[in-house]
Amino acid sequence: MTSTAPIPPITGTVNLAVSVERAFAVFTGSVNSWWPHQYHIGKADVAEVILEPHVGGRWYERGVDGSECDWGRVLVWEPPSRLVFTWQINGSWQFDPAPERASEIEARFTPTGPRESLVEVEHRYFERLDGGQAIHGAINGGGGGWAQLLDGFAKTVADQG
């Protein structure tokens, strides 16, 4: 690791005009529809992004050539309120198979009305990653981070009704 000092988390929030059940379902089951395909680490262009719906499930990309490239694993699966998964992509933009060198992404889904929800994302523990400061800087400064991703997620939720 390049640093043992804590690196601040990157956060994002979005309010949606759907139930938490619907928000969770789109976030997890339709990640391919809202995750920007230019954000990938595999050699091939992305055909789809997949998050397997269970503890231990893979979070990965499948390339247009059929290749697969892991990004992380599901640590907590508590539909429809909470999801925690690892980000095992290091400062060289390569998958790191060692879970002790992974950052974590937690998504919380809170009802704010009968058909309204708040989604909060916290990407934390960058100091665990080899090159964690570089990854933090790229995510936080390179295009809006989780705020931008959640904007795309909100558009997908609205489009899917």
Position 117 scores a pLDDT of 97
For 6-32, the pLDDT digits (tens) are 999 999 999 999 999 999 999 999 999
For 106-116, the pLDDT digits (tens) are 999 999 998 99
* pLDDT higher than 60, residue 1: no
DSSP output for the chain: ----S----EEEEEEESS-HHHHHHHHHHTHHHHS-TTS--SSSPEEEEEE-SSTT-EEEEEETTS-EEEEEEEEEEETTTEEEEEE-B-TTS-B---GGG-EEEEEEEEEEETTEEEEEEEEE-GGGSTTHHHHHHHHHHSS-HHHHHHHHHHHHHHHH-
Position 148 scores a pLDDT of 86
For 62-77, the pLDDT digits (tens) are 999 999 999 999 999 9
Fold of 10-160: Alpha-D-Glucose-1,6-Bisphosphate; Chain A, domain 4 (3.30.530)
Q: Write down the domain spans for the chain.
A: 10-160
pLDDT class of 3 with cuts at 50, 70, 90: very low
pTM of the model as a whole: 0.93
